[in-house]
Structure formats: structure tokens, C-alpha cells
Chains A and B, each alone.
Chain A
Amino acid sequence: MTTLVLAWSITLAQIMLGLAMLCTAARLVIGPRAQDRVAGLDTFYVNAMLMLLTFGVQTGRTLYVEAALAIALLGFAGTVALSKFLMRGEVIE
């Protein structure tokens, strides 16, 4: 019984995170300026990381945690590089 409750709430959480990713993807597409798109991308990868953590709980494998950590690291580097580019026009001066 409680396992069923857990299974349904994990699925519901994945649906909610999917909706959150849709919202950020809409912000990524409609803009209106470049900094809005970068903020949307930043939130998008955080939501994707949370979705991977829920997959890890669902299947009971710890592999997903490492994948989520990789997304967090690479997304941070990407957002910093994009902000730097918006500010200066170059990533590495």
C-alpha cells in the first residue's frame, strides 16, 4: 500500500518537474532578450537534475546521482561562460 503511494507520488513529481521544464523551455524560446534565455537555460538544467534524482529514487540505483552531479557541474560552467560572453563579447580574454 505505502509502496503504491510512493510510486504514484514519484510519478506525480516527475510530471510536475516535466511541467516545470516546459515552462523554462518556453522562456528559453520566447526570450525576449539573450539574458532571459540564459536564465531559462540555467533553470532548465536544474530541473533536469531534479528529474534525474527522482529517477534514482524510482529505480533504486545510485548511478543516477552521479549523472545528476555531472549535470550540475557542466551546467554551472555553461551558464558562467554564457554570462561572461554577454558581458564582454568573449569567454576567455
Chain B
Amino acid sequence: MIQAPDLPAWAALLVALLILIGAGIALIGSIGLLRLNSFYQRMHAPTLGTTLGTGFIALASMICFSVLQSRPLVHELLIVGFVTVSTPITLMLLARAALYRDRPEGELEAPPLETISDRS
């Protein structure tokens, strides 16, 4: 599976660098999801992969296809926009569901109630 498109040198180096950075950030986020201790800490780690990781890899893909077809090709902006909008929604819904389940059970990891009730 070692293959790559024929890009000019500057584009090839740029795409390689961006893809490596994006994949590394996604890997760091996933390791954080595996290793952090409580659920409320683990919620923070995957956002690395969904924001910066998606951004870098989509940018690399945009540069690659724009150079290959010698016209601007920005389909990936759809993915970036959609993922950026949807990640906070899903994580907030999930955190609320977790709070709703943890509080009645007296789970110790759950944040205390006062911080929420003061605000609302």
C-alpha cells in the first residue's frame, strides 16, 4: 500500500507534514480518552482529534486535490464545518446524560450540584 499521487515537491512536503500532524493529534486525543481517570476528564480528550486533527487532515486533502486537478477543490470544508458544529452538541448532550445518571446514584466523580444551580 506504499503509494502516493504525483505532486510537485512543495505540495508533497506540505501535505505530508499536515497529515502527520493531524494524525498525531488524533492519536494523542484517543490515548487521552483511554488513559484519563474519570468520565468528566475523559470528555475533554477526544475534542483534540475532532477539531485540530480534522482541520489539519482536511487542509492537507484540500491542498492535494487542488494541486492535482489544478483548480480549487474545497469539498472538505463541508466536513470541517459539520464536525466543528456537531462535536460540542454531542459532547454536551452526553455530559448532561451522564450527570442525569450519576447524581441520583451519589457518584463521587460527578461535579457538585451547587455550581449548576447557582447559574440557572
Partner of B50, one of A4, A23, A46, A59: A46
Q: Looking at chain B's contact residues, is the secondary structure mostly helix, strand, loop, or mixed?
A: helix
Contact (Cβ within 8 A) B39 A65 = no
Contacts of B15 in A (CB 8 A): 6, 57
Contact (Cβ within 8 A) A83 B22 = no
A69 within 8 A of B: yes
Q: A40-B33, A53-B57 are in contact. Are A17 and B26 (CB under 8 A)?
A: yes
Question: Chain B nearest CB: distance from A32 CB in Å?
Answer: 9
Contact (Cβ within 8 A) A36 B23 = no
Contact (Cβ within 8 A) A16 B82 = no
Contacts of A36 in B (CB 8 A): 39, 42
For A2-44 the 0/1 string (1 means CB < 8 A from B) is 1111111111111011011101101100000111101110110
Chain A residues packing against B (C-beta within 8 Å): 2-14, 16-17, 19-21, 23-24, 26-27, 33-36, 38-40, 42-43, 46-47, 49-50, 53-54, 56-60, 62, 65-66, 68-69, 72-73, 76, 79-80, 83-84, 86-87
Q: Told that A14-B23, A62-B73 touch, could you supply 6 new A-B pairs with CB distance under 8 A?
A: A9-B17, A13-B19, A53-B58, A65-B61, A86-B98, A87-B101
